Amino acid sequence: MRFKIIILLILFTGPAVLAQYYTRDAGIRAGEGVILSYRQFFNEGMAFEGLAGFRNKSLKITGLREYFMPLMISRTDNLKFVYGYGVHAGVSYTNKYELFNRLYRHHRMWNPQFGLDAIVGIEYSANDLPIQVSANFLPYFEFSLDRYFYIRPLNWQVALKYRF
């Protein structure tokens, strides 16, 4: 009985979902660990995205201001160029400390991290489904106790998001 109700709800609410203007999306990114994302659009050309990433006993929270420009307008309206900037803060639990390319090991402790981020990429939104796929380049640099100053110029990520 529940299965029939679910099928009926999908059939009757499907056309209404296709006609919506989406103002939010949430999803998952793969790249430097597992990253959960939530994005709120202010208008069609600007949004704020929050990311929470987990990897190797660390947590990083990132906030990004993103701007969008359509690509290949003559062929599709669904492909967009994404660029923007942001900041991040996080914490890691490690026993490795790096100073001037020398590695030191001590007892484990929590290390705060703070940094600046950038984002450049492309994003495709499906016409008939509330799904987005994107490939992004997210370089960053950060200050932390375990590395003091770290630059990550090559940080690629792919994302799958649900629009609502």
76-102 tens-digit pLDDT? 888 999 999 999 999 988 877 777 777
> And the tokens for 117?
């981020």
So what's the pLDDT on residue 20? 60
pLDDT band at 142 (very low <50, low <70, confident <90, very high): very high
Q: What pLDDT sits at residue 70?
A: 93
52 exposed, middle or buried (CB, 10 Å; 0-12, 13-18, 19+)?
middle
Which pLDDT score is estimated for 57? 84
Decide: helix, strand or coil at residue 6.
helix
Domains annotated on the chain, with CATH: 21-163 (2.40.160.20)
| Both structure tokens of 158 | 């792919």
The Cα–Cα gap between 33 and 83 comes to 21
pTM of the model: 0.79
